[in-house]
Amino acid sequence: MNQYKEFEIDDKIAELAKDVEKEIRPVFEKIEEVCEYNSLKVLKAFQNNNISDMHFNQTTGYGYGDIGRDTCEKVFAEVLGAEDSLVRGQFISGTHALTVALFAFLRPGDTLLSITGKPYDTLDEVIGITDNQSSLKSYGINFEKIELVNDEFDYEAIENILKADKVKVIEIQRSKGYSTRKSITIDKLEKVIEYIRKFDKDVIIMIDNCYCEFVTEKEPLEVGADIIVGSLIKNLGGGIAPNGAYIAGRKDLIKLAAERLTVPGEGKEVGPSLGITKSILQGLFMAPSVVASSLKTAVFASRMLERLGYDVEPKYNEQRADIVQTINFNDKDKLIKYCQGIQMGSPIDSNVVPEPWDMPGYTDQVIMAAGAFTQGSSIELSCDGPIRLPYTAFMQGGLTYEYGKLGVLKAIQNME
């Protein structure tokens, strides 16, 4: 019996799904082991910091003496292996947090080096790759990049530039953004950090950790990074935090970032919680389980689409660094139909038909499907992609595996 008929999923796709789920069960078991480990880590951080109802109270105005906000940042620091953290609803996105960090750490004449190629499209105007009078470039900050070679760090190029130039910040973007490269695993990250330290003990190593938290048992600070940045409407928000982002790492760098976000001399001491602390903490508490659901959804999609003949990355049984699953359709119409199918399988705005559009911060038209409770949340099931060859869908999220699976089935059916 096909229980999906009400969802207009035909027998052929339903039978394939049943077969695929048997095949991917061993991968799910490994995901569940990581989930339990990270759940223990989060639970201990809550207990060690004596979280109680009083931490959920809100502050307004300046936010002086906000014990909930301050203790929340201690919890995040412990979970992420940081000396300190800045966790604020005043951050509007991961890109905003990255921007605050870059402007906090860099000064005129300094050099920013990306060793994972060009960063994500939304940073083009921040850095000055695309002209903007408010960019780092406009302040006299230099930018250089080193491309990955066959999905590996170019160690020779890294050595050459560190010997030739004084680099202030090295930025590493773990997730692939809108490229078809592999995401950076924690093992590769640890290896390149060790290599960098042979030539420069002082350079600030900053990790764009968006989409990567809780995918494995370790976070970048535990393998030698100085600072990590991420969004709360991705992994660590657990689908509950309504907005915000975090910066975590060395205490001196968090001080600089806080003074860039607020006011020099006041830094972390100001910034009202406005009642968001409970949602942030509850989201963090749920995050290991929600990330596991997102990973299961990605694994299921990967194997389903591979069985249907599409080029997927990563494969269902490959090591993962983030929650992102890519599918190369090499066909504009199939990319659009897959994204539209994800929208049809969403709880919010399922009646809406997404179309490619000129989205701020992107050079190509982009199609985005996200029927989410929180606008733009990519820990909830979403799928998007630039309208350019090879017409790749970037799918992520799934608050529960069951909802994620249904969305994937609907998207596949919509292409038939």
* Cα 230 from Cα 215, distance rounded (Å): 14
- Residues 182/129, Cβ–Cβ less than 8 Å: no
111 has which bridge partners? 142
Average pLDDT, integer, range 132-144: 98
pLDDT, the chain, mean: 96
Average pLDDT, integer, range 211-228: 98
Q: Which pLDDT score, from 0 to 100, does residue 152 have?
A: 97
At residue 388 the predicted structure's pLDDT band, cuts being 50, 70 and 90, is very high
What is the 8-class DSSP label of residue 184?
P
Q: Which pLDDT score, from 0 to 100, does residue 366 have?
A: 93
pLDDT of 177 > 90? The answer is no
pLDDT of 330 > 60? The answer is yes
pLDDT of 137 > 90? The answer is yes
Tokens in use for 226?
């100085």
Render pLDDT for 221-255 as a digit per residue (tens, 0 to 9).
Answer: 999 999 999 999 999 999 999 999 999 999 999 99
Q: Which pLDDT score, from 0 to 100, does residue 6 have?
A: 83
At residue 165 the predicted structure's pLDDT band, cuts being 50, 70 and 90, is confident
Residues of CATH 3.90.1150.60 domain(s) within the chain?
A: 5-40+285-415
pLDDT of 283 > 70? The answer is yes
Q: Which pLDDT score, from 0 to 100, does residue 90 have?
A: 97
Tokens in use for 222?
């535990």
Which residue shows structure tokens 């820990």? Answer: 379
Q: Which pLDDT score, from 0 to 100, does residue 361 have?
A: 65
Which contacts (CB < 8 Å, 24+ apart) does range 180-184 have? Answer: 180/313, 180/326, 180/328, 180/390, 180/392, 181/116, 181/117, 181/148, 181/151, 182/151, 182/313, 182/314, 182/321, 183/211, 183/212, 183/314, 183/320, 183/321, 183/322, 183/324, 184/116, 184/321
Residues of CATH 3.40.640.10 domain(s) within the chain?
A: 57-274
Q: What percentage of residues in the chain have a pLDDT greater than 90? A: 94
- Residues 348/370, Cβ–Cβ less than 8 Å: no
Separation of CA 348 from chain center: 22
CATH of domain 57-274: 3.40.640.10
Residue (of 80, 11, 29, 396) closest to 226 by Cα position: 80
Render pLDDT for 331-364 as a digit per residue (tens, 0 to 9).
Answer: 999 999 999 999 999 999 999 999 999 987 677 8
The fold of 5-40+285-415 is: Aspartate Aminotransferase, domain 1 (3.90.1150)
Q: Which pLDDT score, from 0 to 100, does residue 362 have?
A: 72
